[in-house]
Amino acid sequence: MAEDRIIVVGAGPAGVRATEALVDAGLRPTVIDEERRDGGQIYRRQPEGFRRAKSELYGTEATRAANLHDSFARLQPQIDYRPETLAWNIADNRLHLVRGAQSDALTYGALIIAAGATDRIMPVRGWNRAGVYSLGGSQIALKAQACAIGRRVVFLGSGPLLYLVASQYIKAGASVAAVLDTAPRQLRVKALPKLMARPDVLFKGIALDRHLRRSGVEVLSGIHPLAIEGSDEQGVEAVTVRLPEGEVRTIACDAVGLGYHLRPETQLADLARCAFRFDAKTRQWQPEVDAEGRSSVKGVYLAGDSSRTLGADGAEAAGRLAALAALKDRGHTVSATEMARLAKTIARSERFRQGISEAFPWPHQAAAELSDDTVICRCECITAGELRAVASEKGATELNRAKAFSRVGMGRCQGRYCGHAAAEVVAAAAGLPLEQVGRLRGQAPVKPLPVAAGVTSP
């Protein structure tokens, strides 16, 4: 019956392992995947006809990537797999879908959301120029299109992904002009006790840093971004930053990869009416989940990066655990020992996540220093000055109110890339704690739909 259907949204590490647990229990779940093939972002597959070795695509994670791909290939005959399908709304226990010009709505008994994460962006003056990409976009270009985003690339931001993508570009033979990290290097030493929760991952990170330096890439820490220079005609031409000692440096380039960690894809959880909580350490709102992945809404489970970013192996554990929780709630017998083991793995990943947030903090203070002409929302071309005006002149100090006055977050990305920075700008302008400013509420459709699909929101 449709009411008994279990749906998994996402076929990355969390989604694949959740699906595997359901199949192991004798069920035939429906798997919704926005991409053409399984793997998610971190284990994104290259198109047919491409022949780059897995070791080149995934580096030290090649074995894990191959294992995940092989696992899903074995599962496909036993599942209802729907690739290239967008889950765009949730209402009345129905998941609304579109594929091409075809729309559908599936009733579910349990829903496991493993939607992954997207880049977290702090704008810098000039980031709206042609040639500026998110770190994830830079990585997609390399993995799925076998090309670099530019001839001479600067990677700017903070967090492990900054070093990973830069290293992948070097291995692919691209020219990396510099890696510019806003986090002071000494913060990594302070965070070591938590980072040692995952020594294997820690040492891989150290190896990435060494690889960049041995390759002759300039790696600068504790910098303050001032501007991405260029013109409307030529796009990006250079990046200007201030070094910790006060020196201003301009580094020539024709492309920039920009990003600060990842942010969970929470739109579907929001549409499912899941409760959220404010995480003061990372300064963002996250869906509430219990230790086994249950959300505040009965029958809705959150796995992997869709609730908190734990890395690929943490996501695999969270995906399987969420599926076991769903099975347990539906009366199936599950192994308490396995659930405890998975919970322990997740706890270790969570401690490491906390260490990462301390070693590479989100530079929230930069929002107050952005010039008024800095674009915050690239889709709608809303500047920091406009946001400050609606906060100070119109009293719009709640983020959705500021959105109504300014249109920030109303564009194609639905606030994915501007929402966090917009909240910081409003909070600084109003002199309020960030949590009081709130968050952009999710609205359907979570991504643009083709007009030919003819769908309407329920």
Q: How do beta strands 375-377 and 382-383 pair? A: antiparallel
Q: How do beta strands 132-134 and 117-119 pair? A: unpaired
CA angle 391, 394, 397 (to 5 degrees): 35
Q: Which two tokens stand for residue 343?
A: 């919970």
Whole-angstrom CA distances from 152 to 146, 204, 251, 253, 257 are: 16, 25, 10, 5, 11
Q: DSSP code of 215?
A: T
List, run by run, the mean pLDDT of 10-residue segments along the chain (458 residues).
Answer: 84 97 97 93 81 77 89 96 96 94 94 96 97 95 89 97 94 94 96 95 93 96 98 96 97 98 94 96 95 96 91 93 97 96 95 96 96 96 97 95 96 92 97 96 90 71
Cα distance between residue 223 and residue 205, in whole Å? 20
Domain with CATH 3.50.50.60 in the chain: 2-118+263-356, 121-260
Cα distance between residue 373 and residue 450, in whole Å? 33
Residues 181 and 258 sit within 8 Å (Cβ to Cβ): no
With DSSP H G I counted as helix, E B as strand and the rest as coil, what are the percentages for the chain, rounded to 5? 40, 20, 40
Q: State whether residue 390 is helix, strand or coil.
A: helix
pLDDT of amino acid 218: 96
Residues 7 and 95 sit within 8 Å (Cβ to Cβ): yes
The DSSP element (H or E) to which 242 belongs, if any, is strand 235-242
Cα distance between residue 227 and residue 246, in whole Å? 15
pTM summary value:
0.94
Q: What's the CATH code, domain 2-118+263-356?
A: 3.50.50.60
Domain with CATH 1.10.10.1100 in the chain: 366-437
pLDDT of amino acid 456: 65
How far does the chain reach from its first CA to its final CA, in angstroms? Answer: 22
pLDDT of amino acid 400: 96
Q: State whether residue 284 is helix, strand or coil.
A: strand
> Cα 178 to the chain's mean position, in Å?
23
Find the Cα–Cα–Cα–Cα dihedral 276, 282, 284, 287, rounded to 10°: -20
pLDDT of amino acid 2: 62
pLDDT of amino acid 318: 96
Give the position of tokens 């889950």.
87
Taking domain 366-437, whether its CATH number is 1.10.10.1100 is answered by yes
Taking domain 121-260, whether its CATH number is 3.50.50.60 is answered by yes
Cα distance between residue 137 and residue 131, in whole Å? 11
Q: Which amino acid is at 360?
A: F
Cα distance between residue 73 and residue 341, in whole Å? 26
